[in-house]
Amino acid sequence: MSKNFLGLIIAFVVLLVVSFFMYQKWGGDMNVPTDNLNTSSESGEVVRGEVVAKDLSMAAVDGPFVIYIVTEDGRDQIIHVSSMGLLLCEASDNIENIENIKVGDIIEVNGEIDGAGNIVPCASSAHYLKIIAR
């Protein structure tokens, strides 16, 4: 094996290890209480709020797109949208293109609450993520 090829393999493995630890440290680490969410439906939790930030960086390591909102009642809420598996989601046709969502937009989401309190629109065809106002 040439030194260049071996160096390339080592660099790739290091990149994978660093990416894994970065995801473990920052991916989904922000716990949000799940009590008093805006509304609940048979298909999941429905929340409306203003987008205050968007983080697409975890998609590089197969993590979710992350949207941070402040709900109508003033709470912080995090929305996780699948990046790599979006087309496999039951709700894929009902999820707004993440690139279209901008800071300041009012959005509404219907999805499940995960273990960290994030809303995840994916498991049901009734789930959605849509822009209500710009």
What confidence tens digit (pLDDT) does each residue in 74-123 have? 999 999 998 887 888 899 899 999 999 999 999 999 999 999 999 999 98
Task: Report which residue type is found at 68.
Answer: Y
What confidence tens digit (pLDDT) does each residue in 98-108 have? 999 999 999 99
Q: Where are the domains of the chain?
A: 3-133
Q: What is the pLDDT of residue 40?
A: 52
Question: Domain 3-133 belongs to what topology?
Answer: OB fold (Dihydrolipoamide Acetyltransferase, E2P) (2.40.50)
Burial label, 44 (beta-carbon count in 10 A; 0-12, 13-18, 19+): buried
Total residue count of the chain as it appears in this document: 134
Of 41-45, 59-63, 77-81, which range is least confident?
41-45
